[in-house]
Amino acid sequence: MRTAVIILGHGSRRQGAGDPLASIAASLQATGNYLAAEHAFLQYARPSLADAVGSCARQGADRIVIVPFFVQPGNHVITDIPELVDALRTKYPGVAFSVTGHVGGHPMMVNIVEELVKTQR
């Protein structure tokens, strides 16, 4: 399969707020493990999820894995993202979509928090 990854964040009106997500996607792309690695936002910023999916599909992705870059399992994670992905499945029937768990729910988050604390000594 030709797999693409989309890291999906909330979005912000503040200029440059999405740069870290773009940087993570670029680093993931640089691994060479995926056909494409892109970032997208639900609100306030571009590219949208639909834009990123379209880009991945144009590059030939037949599998797209969406990673919700959210700390908490709020409405966006539980309701909005699944609804958006269902609509995209209809628009791109030849693409297999999957959504990972939200980043904040990953067990390594405690390691990240610990590392942040250690850097404040």
**What pLDDT is attached to residue 77?**
97
Q: How confident is the model at residue 3 (pLDDT cuts 50, 70, 90)?
A: very high
What is the rounded average pLDDT of the residues 2-13?
98
Interval 40-66: pLDDT, tens: 999 999 999 999 999 999 999 999 999
Longest dimension (CA), the chain: 52
**40 — phi, psi (to 5°)?**
-155, 165
What are the distances in angstroms from CA 54 to CA 17, 46, 102? Answer: 23, 13, 22
- CA dihedral of 58, 85, 29, 72, whole degrees rounded to 10: 160
| The domain defined by 3-118 carries CATH number 3.40.50.1400 | yes
Instruction: Write down the domain spans for the chain.
Output: 3-118
Interval 16-34: pLDDT, tens: 999 999 999 999 999 999 9
What is the rounded average pLDDT of the residues 115-121?
92
